[in-house]
Amino acid sequence: MKPVLLLFYDHDPAGLKISRTFKKNLADCKRGTGWSPKDLIIERFGLNAEDIEQYGLMWIDNLRTSSGRTSRDHYYIQKYGQRKCEANALFKNDETLEAGEQICRKAIEKFYGENALERFREKEETSKDKLKDVYENPIWESFNEGLDQILEQFNSVEVEEKQPKEVTLEKETVVFIDNKHYGLCPKCATQFNYGESDYDKLVRCRYCKVLMRLKFKEKK
């Protein structure tokens, strides 16, 4: 049987790029996993532009990334414009949720056939019939009753309130610095750099971890 991987990402430059490079990413892991995606069928089934238009999903009129950078994917911009559609657009209301179900169903039925759900339900019923004697065994009733009793016992046990631990404040060492932008740790004598913005700040020595309060040394 051929494995099939269905991908669903945002409709934006990053989401489309992930879909295009996913197989290569798996191939790059071949030496570590011992498995090759050569025969793997990868298909992106959402979000696609035709689904966004068909189901009236919301476009967002910008292409800024999570870091605030504006996308410079000229091919994408030329084809779709300065806009994107995120996957959570499908969670807007009942209509969009139904649209999401239709998109997923269409992708699955492409490989399993339009009657996939009915075939699954038939197999489920057949399995239940085979295990009918197991399901109807009275042992399960007593088993569930025993679980309920155990849970009741646990719930009846009063949980002692945890006493808040006393917090011990770490003592800081005041270190006087000047405008030469370097100083020495008073404990291990390790040299450290600083700037004017560090005056009156708390810092730690990178070696002995002593806590230092940097104070500017006024000239006499």
> CB neighbours of 152 closer than 8 A, spacing ≥ 6?
none
Name the β-bridge partners of 184: 191
> CB neighbours of 163 closer than 8 A, spacing ≥ 6?
none
Mean pLDDT in residue range 58-86 = 87
Q: Which two tokens stand for residue 187?
A: 């404990």
Most confidently modeled of 25-39, 163-177, 198-212?
25-39
Q: Concatenated DSSP letters for 118-165?
A: HHHHHHHHHHHHHTHHHHT-THHHHHHHHHHHHHHHHHHSPPPPPPPP
User: Measuring CA to CA, which residue among 105, 99, 101, 8 is closest to residue 55?
Assistant: 99
User: Measuring CA to CA, which residue among 74, 77, 73, 79 is closest to residue 18?
Assistant: 73
Tell how many helices (H) and how many strands (E) occur in the chain: 8, 7
**pTM for this model (two decimals):** 0.54
- For tokens 């009915």, name the residue: 118
Domain ranges (residues) in the chain: 4-112, 173-216
Q: How far is CA 23 from CA 11, 34, 45, 125, 168, in A?
A: 19, 15, 15, 37, 53
For residue 219, the model assigns a pLDDT of 64
Q: How many CB atoms lie within 10 A of CB 107?
A: 18
Q: Which two tokens stand for residue 69?
A: 């950078």
For 12-58, write each residue's pLDDT tens digit: 999 999 999 999 999 999 999 999 999 999 999 989 999 999 999 99
For residue 129, the model assigns a pLDDT of 86
Name the β-bridge partners of 193: 182
For residue 16, the model assigns a pLDDT of 94
